[in-house]
Structure 1
Amino acid sequence: MSKLLDFKSRLYRRLVYGLVAMTMVLGIGVTTAQPSHAGWLDLIFQGVRVYQLSNMSNEQEVDLGRGINNQLVNSRQIRLYRNESLNTYVNDIGQRLAAVSDRPGIPYTFQIVQDSSVNAFATMGGYVYVTTGLMAAADNEAELASVIGHEIGHISGRHAVEQMRQAAITQGITGALGVNRDRLINIGAQVALQLPASRSAEYEADRQGFDTLGRAGYDQAAMVAFMKKLVRQGSPPEFLSTHPDARNRVTQLQQNLNESALPQATAGMSETAYSSNIAPLR
């Protein structure tokens, strides 16, 4: 009988010690887990965070875009061009396009960046930027509208959100959207200025921009003409230098033009009217 009790006592102690040891191991794993280690526990938590980022609401995206815009401006990563009449002109073009875009249900903000380079970019939440250099390079309003339409296409496709999601995984974001808002804003600013869009995203933005241009009444031939002109100049500008090859994009846009069902879209082709509207840049 005593031997049986002794055996039960030893078995009980082993079970208790085993449970304690397992608890300590799990406790250490939870408290020391880092995203860069990519352990199974990290991946579970990271998957939740990535899911939350990929499925943010329109309100969250607009709020984050506002924060990214403030970061770009306040840190002087960009310098806004403050001429009131010219900003009103660009905003009017942008709002005309946004209203017939594939994503008209968010507020859009269109701004001019004081920069002689031929460039345009967008960030999440409806923020679009065009440089003074690009405006000067365009020959008419339809050409300028074609670039703005392309950037709206990036917003419609939520391409900046996807870029941020990928960057967040790479950089090991450790919390949900609200917890790390400041860090996400920093990543968003980096995405807006430095990270090129993917091949598929550029084609999608071209297609959506082309369609939006026609629905707004602008001559879609201007989009093809402007890109052809920039490619012929030699080294493509920044917004054309990302994947895919700019010449292939021109070819695809020419095909879109040949198949377009909007021959009545002919607005914005007057060079004289455009020159008058951007007179402050001269």
Structure 2
Amino acid sequence: MKFHLRTKVRRWFYPLLSLLVMWGVIVGTPQISQAIPLRQLLPGAVQFLQFSSISDKQEIQLGGQINKQLVNGDVRLYRNSELNRYINGIGQRLARKSDRPNLDYTFQVVDDSAINAFATMGGYVYIHTGTIAAADNEAQLASVIAHEIGHIGGRHSIKQMKQALLAQGVTQILGVDSNKAVQIGVELALKRPHSRRDEYDADVRGLKTLKRTGYAPSGMVGFMKKLLNSGGGTPTFLSTHPGTQDRIEALQENISSTEANRGSGLDNAAYKSRIRSFINS
């Protein structure tokens, strides 16, 4: 009787054990869709970005694509190697002391007499020749560059893109065609101002960067005051940056009287002499 019982147990137990082992192998083996990215399975497939969790690498790649569209389209770069080296030198010094020093920053001079500057994601900063000519000294110019670096530090362009995508009915869960993202990024860079909150944030970040780099913090306030008091309408740089007087007051609260002029970049004559060979200021 016991023998027959053991025989019956073996008849169902070993097949069941084999089945369990096979199931464990199947479950434990990585599926193809998990192990290989979809874009590798489909050569030439459009890359989709998840803006709810975009990585630094993706941001840099997207910024590079946006920059390519800009410089091949609406933005005309100023082809003076000496001036570009000068601006890049200022920008790189500031970038090393910024909130995101590990990005590979690119600083470019735009051939445009309008007073303006802007930035896009991934470390790309654009300075108009009009801004360079309008600044009284290097500290003022550095403050503009530091402010734009502040936008990159705060990832403001990414936030704007998320908002633009949501307005178009694209949810963060679905992701977005990278080509569409580039188009939106170009539009944001050229036409859409940052929010008041982002401007304050970029001011604070920029001022901290300016101080850490060794520039006199009064340069930031000085440049804003200069433009507000220049007359002849609101300059382009300020027309896309709301609440300038309030921003000046907020900056002054973060600059003590003892440190305002402490640092480099306040020699007006030296600055004007240097840029005169590049730009007719």
Normalised-by-shorter TM-score class? 0.7 to 0.9
Match of 1:256 among 240, 254, 257: 254
**Partners in 2 of 1:81 and 1:144 — Cα distance?**
17
SS in 2 for 1:121: strand
Q: For residues 140 and 259 of structure 1, do their structure 2 counterparts lie closer, same or farther at Cα, with a shift above 3 Å needed?
A: closer
> Are residues 1:204 and 2:201 paired?
yes
Which residue number in structure 1 is paired with residue 190 of structure 2? 193
Relative to total residues, which structure has the larger helix share, 1 or 2?
A: 1
**Partners in 2 of 1:93 and 1:214 — Cα distance?**
13
Deviation track 1:54-97 (CA, whole Å, cap 9, x = no partner) reads: 3211110000000000001112x110001000000000000000
**Partners in 2 of 1:238 and 1:62 — Cα distance?**
27
Percent identical residues: 53
> Are residues 1:150 and 2:184 paired?
no
SS in 2 for 1:280: coil
**Partners in 1 of 2:269 and 2:251 — Cα distance?**
26
Deviation track 1:208-264 (CA, whole Å, cap 9, x = no partner) reads: 10110010000001111110010112333233223531111111111111278x568
**Partners in 1 of 2:76 and 2:63 — Cα distance?**
17
**Partners in 1 of 2:117 and 2:101 — Cα distance?**
20
SS in 1 for 2:145: helix
Coordinate RMSD, CA, aligned: 1.8
Which residue number in structure 2 is paired with residue 90 of structure 1? 87
Which residue number in structure 1 is paired with residue 238 of structure 2? 240
Which residue number in structure 2 is paired with residue 34 of structure 1? none
| Uncovered stretches (5+) of structure 1, i.e. residues with no partner | 1-48
Deviation track 1:148-198 (CA, whole Å, cap 9, x = no partner) reads: 000000000000000011111112348524xx1111100000001111111
Deviation track 1:93-141 (CA, whole Å, cap 9, x = no partner) reads: 0000000011111110000000010000000000000100010000111
Deviation track 1:18-49 (CA, whole Å, cap 9, x = no partner) reads: xxxxxxxxxxxxxxxxxxxxxxxxxxxxxxx9
Which residue number in structure 2 is paired with residue 176 of structure 1? 175
**Partners in 2 of 1:63 and 1:181 — Cα distance?**
10
> Which of the two has higher C-alpha Rg?
2
Which residue number in structure 2 is paired with residue 30 of structure 1? none
Q: For residues 54 and 239 of structure 1, do their structure 2 counterparts lie closer, same or farther at Cα, with a shift above 3 Å needed?
A: farther
**Partners in 2 of 1:270 and 1:264 — Cα distance?**
11
Residue type of the partner of 1:272? A
The Cα of 1:269 is off from its aligned counterpart by 1.0
Q: TM-score, normalised by structure 2?
A: 0.77
Residue type of the partner of 1:132? T
| Uncovered stretches (5+) of structure 2, i.e. residues with no partner | 1-47
Match of 1:228 among 200, 211, 225: 225
Match of 1:138 among 125, 135, 139: 135
Tell me how many residue pairs correspond in the alignment.
Answer: 229
**Partners in 1 of 2:246 and 2:257 — Cα distance?**
17
The Cα of 1:265 is off from its aligned counterpart by 4.0
Q: TM-score, normalised by structure 1?
A: 0.77
Contact persistence 2:107–2:125 (CA under 8 A): yes
Which residue number in structure 2 is paired with residue 16 of structure 1? none
Q: For residues 243 and 115 of structure 1, do their structure 2 counterparts lie closer, same or farther at Cα, with a shift above 3 Å needed?
A: closer
Which residue number in structure 2 is paired with residue 53 of structure 1? 51
SS in 2 for 1:257: coil
The Cα of 1:273 is off from its aligned counterpart by 2.0
Contact persistence 1:214–1:265 (CA under 8 A): no
Which residue number in structure 1 is paired with residue 45 of structure 2? none
